[in-house]
Structure 1
Amino acid sequence: MKTVIEVVGGVILVCPLIALIVTYMICRKMKIKKMHAVGFAADVTTFILFFSVPLALKSIWEISFSMYIIILALLIALGLTFIDWRTKKEIDVPLLLKKIWRIYFILLSILYISAWLIGLSINIVDYLEGI
């Protein structure tokens, strides 16, 4: 049983798109509206991407990017909080947190796709050099 959980966890870490699709499908089976299901699936996938992106980058360049991603996330949260504070008199914390979390999803998704494409390109070049 422990091995099955490790394999499933490993697959989800390597391919967070699976988590996005499975979470969305589970939400739809539970009769949750499409927009809410997409949002919840993005929220779950964001959490997984916080682990997947540093793992993907480390596998390419053998350097840990975890601290940089955490610092970037904190700077984004501080920046959005400051902007929200300057534009509104009162900060709506749940709405602000939702906004920050969705920006993390977009940013981490772009980083993950970029890392995937860079890793694929490097492997193709290495393969072609070996021919």
Structure 2
Amino acid sequence: MKLLVSYILGILIFIPVTIFILSYFIFRKILKKRANQSVRLAADITTFFLFFSVTISIATLWGTRLSLIAIAISLLIAIIMTYQDWKTKKEMKIIPLLRKIWRVQFLYLVLVYNAVWLVGIVQSILFFIT
């Protein structure tokens, strides 16, 4: 049972990279050589999986649950972007604002995902060396 749980966690941790690559190639095929739009759509899909993957990766590596902190940071980003949009534009458009927030979330989560992986790899190397 413990082995099954570790396999499931491992798959969930790797899903964002796989989903990004697969969805990029699928959208590239559908949209016929519109690379920029394919990347944006692939990023939109991957953001959902990154949110869970980052929290699972942190929980797996350090045994702490940071889901509430991740949600709080995501909400803070959304609040800051909404306030900025409200101050700079006369009329706020909800759909473009949500799209911007979602893409900033993607960038934030990719940075955290890569940082967690890098720290995890260094930590594993140090563990095996000592």
TM value normalised by structure 1: 0.87
Q: What letter matches 1:98 in structure 2?
A: R
Q: What letter matches 1:91 in structure 2?
A: M
Q: What letter matches 2:69 in structure 1?
A: Y
Write out aligned runs for 1:1-131 (5 A).
11=11, 13-15=12-14, 16-32=16-32, 33-129=34-130
Question: For residues 49 and 80 of structure 1, do their structure 2 counterparts lie closer, same or farther at Cα, with a shift above 3 Å needed?
Answer: same
Aligned residues: 122
Extract unaligned runs of 5+ from structure 1. 1-6
CA contact (8 A) 2:54 2:109 kept: yes
Question: For residues 70 and 61 of structure 1, do their structure 2 counterparts lie closer, same or farther at Cα, with a shift above 3 Å needed?
Answer: same
1:9-51 deviation line (CA, Å, top 9, x unaligned): 963x222111100000111121352111110100011010010
Task: Give runs of ≥4 in structure 1 deviating > 6 Å.
Answer: none
CA–CA distance in structure 2, aligned partners of residues 79 and 43 of structure 1: 20
**Which segment is superposed worse, 58-67 or 24-33?**
24-33
1:58-100 deviation line (CA, Å, top 9, x unaligned): 1111000111000111111011101110111110111111110
Q: What letter matches 1:60 in structure 2?
A: L
Q: What letter matches 2:21 in structure 1?
A: I
**Percent of aligned positions that are identical:** 39
Q: What letter matches 2:13 in structure 1?
A: V
Extract unaligned runs of 5+ from structure 2. 1-6
Q: What letter matches 2:128 in structure 1?
A: Y
TM value normalised by structure 2: 0.88
CA–CA distance in structure 1, aligned partners of residues 31 and 51 of structure 2: 28
CA–CA distance in structure 2, aligned partners of residues 94 and 83 of structure 1: 15
